[in-house]
Amino acid sequence: MMHIIGLTGGIGSGKSTASAYLHKLGFETIDFDQITRQLQEPGQPALKEIVETFGPEALLPDGTMNRKYVGKIVFSDAEQKKKLDHIIQKYVDVLITALTDDFARRAENITRESNPHDYLQKTVIFYDHPLLFEVPYNIEPAEEAWVLDLDDELRIQRILKRDCLTRSDIIKRMNSQTSRAEKLKLADYVIDNSGTKEQLYRNIDDALANFDKRIE
């Protein structure tokens, strides 16, 4: 039987690090950001709609999306962000459903007896989804939401070290997402990521062990 867990958190919360660790443990994840980037590649119908919606400036000379230009628009105007989310959602729904259905077929006959050492890896798939609470995708819903959590200032400091964004740009992006307080209210499980990478790994191990007990 398949189980879907939504892994989410605001910008700078450590989703990529957590997802990479889950891969190392043998879990499959569906990376919504990666799929969204694929939809924005040259020749994709989603990119065509984005250019039609936000103007020719949304396209760079090499045919790729001008992410900086579109980002400035959507992270400064909630209505413009809804337009972008709506365009992406239509195409993401189809791709995510296909990936989820494939995993469900493979997990259908897996039992603890048949796979005692990798039962979780064969039956649990993760949605690596930054907008788990914000965008109502028409896909198989996650049965639990795991939220990576750390305070907002620490997130800002980590993003400043990682990305070429100003503090003002970071705050705009944070404000465009569900607040930390709201995410914590909606979370089924909270994974602290205020410490080292090794501490995050231990916290993920604890979350997996806790989930394993709950589905016995």
Over the stretch 55-71, which tens digit does the pLDDT of each residue have?
999 999 999 999 989 98
Reply yes or no on whether the pLDDT at 28 is more than 90: yes
Q: Are 25 and 123 in contact (CB under 8 A)?
A: no
Q: Are 70 and 112 in contact (CB under 8 A)?
A: no
Q: Is 110 left (phi over 0), alpha (psi -120 to 50) or beta?
A: beta
Pairing of strands 144-149, 124-128: unpaired
Which of the 8 DSSP states describes residue 142? Answer: P
Reply yes or no on whether the pLDDT at 123 is more than 80: yes
Q: What is the pLDDT of residues 171-214, one digit of tens each?
A: 988 888 889 999 999 999 999 999 999 999 999 999 999 999 99
Element of type H or E holding 126: strand 124-128
Q: What is the pLDDT of residue 172?
A: 87
How far is Cα 5 from Cα 17, in angstroms, rounded to an integer? 16
Phi, psi (deg, nearest 5) at residue 68? -65, -45
Q: What is the pLDDT of residue 1?
A: 87
Q: Are 7 and 146 in contact (CB under 8 A)?
A: yes
Q: What is the pLDDT of residues 140-152, one digit of tens each?
A: 999 999 999 999 9
Whose structure tokens read 């649990």? 124
Helices 167-175, 152-162: axis angle to 10 degrees equals 130
Confidence grade of residue 103 (pLDDT, cut at 50, 70, 90): very high
